[in-house]
Structure 1
């Protein structure tokens, strides 16, 4: 093995699938005996669908194609359950909507992909010990030890891997407890319904399928608790009768809830790892960040963590990663830790908007909802944050304004950009009229020609003749000529003798 992944949820499976696609020997260890069959993270935003479009499922399909066939497309979504909704329909993406799809379906699709590619996923294998060393990481499963040069911890909020690596998990303790359930309704709702009651609390009902509805909320009486009170209440299972009473108090009726398939309690703990990497140990998903479950962001950010991590780790294993990709300014930790910080901050802001049950809280909700209704800069910003399309990475001084931004799904001569990106190589998009960049193709750079972008993209791309696209779909270099293009490619694809951390690159 080159890499062990601990955790067989969607983030761990996605990491393994991308590593495998990049030619890495990887195995997954998952403590549960079989995949979960609960909805859990059921909201998939546009950027997540874009990165899943980069992953080949076989038979001419991408993972995103398979998900779209099973999910429900919703063009508008809430921010902090405000009455005015964010509209995704004008976003520059092939997926201008939220896809409602149960987490177990996403997990099943990724597991099917790994099974088809003969990537081992070991269920019922609880990793109890992790021992990092200078040249490998060892894990204990039962009475057996396994080792690999690298370890990815995708094992959730209580990550054994994070604790063993000595990585602090900093943030705020919870002060409220909420309810969440997937149920059937005797009085079904056709679209999402959000109730906010200053005296009783808030409750939302969001259709997942034609028969299953996600119900979630917080009672006003369950706000302002101590962390110990939250933990104690979370240990008491949610009952259907309790759910009915909560809905009746908040909404004035219980919608005839019945036949729950999943019931749980949530909190607003907001924490993130202080680093995403400690030597040969890396974290992804909930192992790196936990927060109020607002806007369905946890699963999405986790899958995008995996997309950023996998190609860089593959490059490191294969021996061509420069230091900037390992411990430098474009390394996994350098790029994704700020995303986690922003994730925790924006869910904390939603926490206040959702749970300040007072006249001031009502006024604040009206104010923000009005900003969204105007459809201006605030609405565009919030839509960019939730959708994941607005995430950017560091742009060096003097670089083109597109560098560090996500590449849109440009029309290429052969296909579209998202379907040409691969986790084991860069994509050089050649906009020159005579296709003069073909000679720059190599084992790590694939060259594709493209017509000049049109429509709304025309302004930002008007002077671009060459764009180097990273394996995760972000722009590494953009220029109006081929000058210094060879130098830029080398800076991203040729190794240094030693990394900044002192580890020899294999």
Structure 2
């Protein structure tokens, strides 16, 4: 059984990556050990940048129709909320949407694009050489070996793919655990529930009248995450925190989670790559894990497709590690901070100073610029990748390279008004020509015409970051590859061609790595 790419794991990260690859015309197979979709939802939120990425592909309405927008979010459960509504985005909110729903929608999209999804198949081994990868699997029909050009491990914290590739997973073991439970009945009128929230209990209404409670019990926070949670324990923990069990009953799902924090030593080893929880794990503070995985997938998808199809410029696939691993490090660091801010108020002799620190941070978050800075990091809207070094660095490249492209409104080529993100639905590069209509148009030579959509913008809503910019080359993941400011026709042509060669590549045989 041969395909272009094997994705191991059918969680949100694996499904999103498969969608990206299939959209680019890459034959993709997902191998998943579970024989059916996971019914329980550890994650509940999509953050602004993740929604933007869905918007880039034209599928955001499917998610918005089922989710509930919330304008703010939290950092370490502090009273002062992060104000996502102040961020520069068409989606300045957290979307409450159960992970099971997110996975179902992504699987629907993957099947529309022709992705082959094999459930009930366990990966037993991975081997690679200079020409490809072999994956041994065990399934209902017995054992088989699949071959592909690349394999991507999206198979979680205990990743078989990562282990087989010999990629180290350094970090720290869990020292704190919390519990969560989804309950059919909760006495929402009980004043104790409000007291519980004051003691850090997260209360989140889900579908069908189910309520999720998440807490850290100082008397039980050293219990290993492998120990099952019981209804009696949950009731006892609530009673200890607020004097009442809040009338919980009818548990649909209960789980214990810990703060083990690890980051893969590298995201690529030859033809084996990692994404999502296989690359980074941490305490589920702020709901960043699922979102970071989706963003890994969109960063990797077009680059891996370029490698499979033979047009990747030298080093392009390595930029996945260079760009996403620092993001993984930043997420693990901020979740460690949030864990300490939640844990230390429960531990003597640190409780008093820790509560004072939380009060100080609440005051700081009330400062608009501080709130905006942290909201931009947690939402991932401020994620910017390092600009590549080279002959074009300097004022003509400036700070825009690597940054997220704003979704400005524009009119192009006499077409009806549209948005930048609508131009990226097919996963190609977009070259925006922002020069006046009487200037020489920014044409794309034939060598890149299939991969780059050139658009002459006749009017645009404007954005302060784009002041003085004459051309923008936008990557398929919505980040800026290159921004030009020259108005000289010859300079524009030469710099444009260098940018296209550096990012959109050249034609090479499909078998090239």
Query: Same fold by TM-score, threshold 0.5 exceeded?
Result: yes
Q: Deviations over 1:401-431 (max 9, x none)?
A: 2111101111132521112115642101111
Contact 2:311 2:508 in 1 (8 A): no
1:490 aligns with 2:505: no
Q: Secondary structure at the match of 1:420?
A: helix
Contact 1:41 1:296 in 2 (8 A): yes
Q: 1:127 to 1:40 in 2, by over 3 A?
A: same
Aligned to 2:385: 393
Per-residue deviation, 1:66: 0.3
Per-residue deviation, 1:433: 1.7
Of 58, 61, 64 in structure 2, the residue corresponding to residue 68 of structure 1 is 64
Aligned pairs (5 A) from 1:54-203 = 54-55=56-57, 62-142=58-138, 143-188=143-188, 195=196, 202-203=200-201
Aligned to 1:336: 324
Per-residue deviation, 1:196: 6.9
For 2:370 and 2:208, locate their aligned partners in 1 and report how far apart those are by CA, in whole Å: 33
Q: Secondary structure at the match of 2:285?
A: coil
For 2:251 and 2:406, locate their aligned partners in 1 and report how far apart those are by CA, in whole Å: 40
Of 245, 251, 255 in structure 1, the residue corresponding to residue 236 of structure 2 is 245
Per-residue deviation, 1:505: 2.9
Aligned to 1:30: 32
For 1:244 and 1:451, locate their aligned partners in 2 and report how far apart those are by CA, in whole Å: 63
For 1:495 and 1:438, locate their aligned partners in 2 and report how far apart those are by CA, in whole Å: 19
Q: Secondary structure at the match of 2:201?
A: strand
Contact 1:39 1:182 in 2 (8 A): no
Contact 2:313 2:501 in 1 (8 A): no
Aligned to 1:351: 339
Q: Deviations over 1:190-241 (max 9, x none)?
A: 9x979577xxx63211223462222112111234x4xxxx5xx323211122
Gaps of 5+ in 2: 346-350, 487-491
For 1:33 and 1:301, locate their aligned partners in 2 and report how far apart those are by CA, in whole Å: 25
Contact 2:310 2:511 in 1 (8 A): no
- Aligned positions, number: 479
Aligned to 1:322: 313
For 1:162 and 1:351, locate their aligned partners in 2 and report how far apart those are by CA, in whole Å: 26
For 1:260 and 1:449, locate their aligned partners in 2 and report how far apart those are by CA, in whole Å: 57
Contact 1:63 1:109 in 2 (8 A): no
For 1:487 and 1:157, locate their aligned partners in 2 and report how far apart those are by CA, in whole Å: 40
Per-residue deviation, 1:454: 4.3
Contact 2:276 2:292 in 1 (8 A): yes
For 2:196 and 2:432, locate their aligned partners in 1 and report how far apart those are by CA, in whole Å: 48
1:366 aligns with 2:364: no
Per-residue deviation, 1:252: 3.5
Aligned pairs (5 A) from 1:346-495 = 346-357=334-345, 358-375=351-368, 377-396=369-388, 397-398=393-394, 399-413=397-411, 414=415, 415-422=418-425, 424-434=427-437, 436-440=440-444, 442-450=449-457, 453-454=460-461, 457=463, 459-481=464-486, 482=492, 484-495=495-506
Aligned to 2:489: none
For 2:28 and 2:468, locate their aligned partners in 1 and report how far apart those are by CA, in whole Å: 42
Of 286, 295, 314 in structure 2, the residue corresponding to residue 295 of structure 1 is 286
For 1:407 and 1:438, locate their aligned partners in 2 and report how far apart those are by CA, in whole Å: 19
Gaps of 5+ in 1: 56-61
Q: Which moved more, 1:318-327 or 1:122-131?
A: 318-327
Aligned to 2:266: 275
Contact 2:427 2:477 in 1 (8 A): no
